[in-house]
Amino acid sequence: MTQLVLASTSPFRKMLLERLHIAFECSSPHVDESQLENETPMEMVQRLAQLKAEAVAIDYNNALIIGGDQVAVCDGTILGKPGDHDTAVRQLKMVSGKKISFLTALCLLQTRDGKRQLDVIPYHVHFRTLTDDMIEHYLEKEPAYNCAGSFKSEEFGIALCDKLEGDDPTALIGLPLIRLTRMLEDYGIAVI
């Protein structure tokens, strides 16, 4: 039987994959996630999702490896994970009143034959106009320092939004389950 492996240590991706009620394990991909010179955000997430799957694949003979990556893009600028309060404040001021695109790449790699499927699922968030007090109150309640764009839609961060747009809301959280379900079915794993 083919083993299913999530190439991630993200608690968000793990929690999402658990929704599908299929057995899997997690393995940490050790890759440099830096953007390459002249690389677009779309190219970057595709490359990193594939690179993460490949980094984990070397440890498995007969497995399906799920690699994923996500970036938030505002006015052409990639917003990474802020890591601290000051950076989160700057990011939230930058996205105030704007539409942000979250690009989530998904790679499913079959280690037995090296075949892969790769896709990018976009999701768009329209932010409210945020005051300094709103930003501070939000970060006090939910310090989203480990989330791209300083924002967690699945929790209190939803209060920062005017509108969400996209085909798969799980793509916004980091693992597009609608697309993944179809990819798994292509390899003979029926989720439902």
Give the catalytic positions in this structure: 69
Q: State whether the Cα torsion 131-100-149-15 is positive or negative.
A: positive
Find out whether 180 and 110 touch, Cβ atoms under 8 Å. no
Which long-range CB contacts under 8 A does 138-147 form with residues at least 24 apart?
Answer: 138/92, 139/85, 139/88, 139/89, 139/92, 143/85, 143/88, 144/82, 144/88, 145/81, 145/82, 145/83, 145/84, 145/85, 145/87, 145/88, 146/81, 146/83, 147/81
The closest alpha carbon to 9, from 25, 32, 22, belongs to 25
Give 96: exposed, middle or buried? Use CB within 10 Å, 0-12, 13-18, 19+.
middle
- Cα separation, 15 vs 9, whole angstroms: 11
